[in-house]
Amino acid sequence: MTVASSLVERILARDQRAVARAISKIENDSSDANEILKAVFTNSSRGLTVGITGPPGAGKSSLVDKLALHYRNLGKRVGIIAVDPSSPFTGGAILGDRIRMQTLANDPNVFIRSMATRGNLGGLARATIDAVAVLDAAGYDKILVETVGVGQDEVEIVKAADVSVVVLVPGMGDDIQAIKAGIMEIGDIFVINKSEREGVERTERELIALLEMSERPDGWHPPIVRTIATQNKGITEFEEAVERYAAFRQGQAASQSRRKSVAENRIIEILREKLLRRVLREAVTPEQLDQYALEVADRLKDPYSIVEEICRRIRIEEV
């Protein structure tokens, strides 16, 4: 039995350490990650994945923690993945050490992990979605994926979830426009957290106006839930909204087309990385790449000509 297949067996037996190790392998793009992923993919236990996004300062972590606690009170096993934007110069995650609620961290039925990109060949979205698949195979009933920011990766991650939640706060002022652009359309549910704050009425009114402007193809009307996560207020309503959408979504034709589009993205994403790796391994040495980069940095050559040069040197053909 290979290391990978014994790891898969332990994942299916709900061994937390095996889950953690598999996710590390995915993050580090270890050679047996593929084998693990193929096995877990077809062993889904159909847990519910909830993607939670919103701007910094919206209190997403507290909200996720309280939702997780709520699920624990209902007897559910919970996985939490906190996606950290990468540190572009050092490649490390700084959020890793963020303190989550002690009660959660010590609960054997809660798995918490933060993930970050590393390097150019990263693929944070891919790695996160793969980690969700591992948690799913390990029988977690609810998998909460929390992302910071409104970048492409975050959008990709949240789109891949079964239920997408956008968290806002009162009084975001004139820049609600900016938030809207990126994440408004992906929300199946909207949460106005810190709803004790001034401006909650106005934020809700603006949100309603925005939602009325856009008709969803599936006919779902995203509910707006007010919460004060730090005081544990509105969490039950939030959880009910999640379940309501999850139930609605089942069997929807639009839901199948969304799943298909998510699947296509994943295939393309994996293909893109695999092709790049293969070419970097087989046709461009690190020394060559270094030399090319130097020439572009000094503006002796442009990057497009260099890529053409590389592509001329390789042949891609069907066999």
Query: Tokens standing for 95?
Result: 């959020």
Residue 95 in contact with a second copy, rule: CB under 8 A: yes
Closest contact distance (angstroms) between CB of 156 and a second copy is 8
93 vs 132, which CB is nearer to a second copy? 93
Residues that bind a second copy (rule: CB under 8 A) add up to a total of 100
Closest CA to 34 of 133, 166, 139: 133
Distance CA 242, CA 238 (A): 6
246 vs 270, which CB is nearer to a second copy? 270
Q: Which residue in 150, 161, 167, 228 binds a second copy (CB under 8 A)?
A: 150
Residue 47 in contact with a second copy, rule: CB under 8 A: no
Distance CA 160, CA 185 (A): 14
Question: Residue 276: how many CB atoms within 10 A of its CB?
Answer: 12
**Strand, coil or helix: 114:** strand
Q: Which residue in 2, 6, 24, 256 binds a second copy (CB under 8 A)?
A: 256
Single out the segment in contact with a second copy by CB under 8 A; choices: 7-15, 182-190, 236-244, 245-253: 182-190
- Write out the binding residues for a second copy, residues 66-85 only, by CB under 8 A: 84-85
103 vs 261, which CB is nearer to a second copy? 261
Residue 293 in contact with a second copy, rule: CB under 8 A: yes
Sheet containing 224-226: give its strands across.
Answer: 110-116, 78-84, 142-147, 48-53, 163-168, 189-192, 224-226
Could you give the string, one character per residue 151-180, with x where binding to a second copy holds by CB under 8 A and - elsewhere?
Answer: xxxxxx--x------------xx-xxxxxx
CA distances from 319 to 249, 270, 276, 278 (A): 42, 21, 19, 16
**Strand, coil or helix: 241:** helix
Residue 270 in contact with a second copy, rule: CB under 8 A: yes
Single out the segment in contact with a second copy by CB under 8 A; choices: 102-110, 221-229, 232-240, 269-277: 269-277
Q: Which residue in 59, 139, 223, 234 binds a second copy (CB under 8 A)?
A: 59
Residue 103 in contact with a second copy, rule: CB under 8 A: no
DSSP 233-276: BSHHHHHHHHHHHHHHHTT-HHHHHHHHHHHHHHHHHHHHHHHH
Whether 51 and 164 have beta carbons less than 8 Å apart is answered as: yes
- Write out the binding residues for a second copy, residues 184-223 only, by CB under 8 A: 184-186
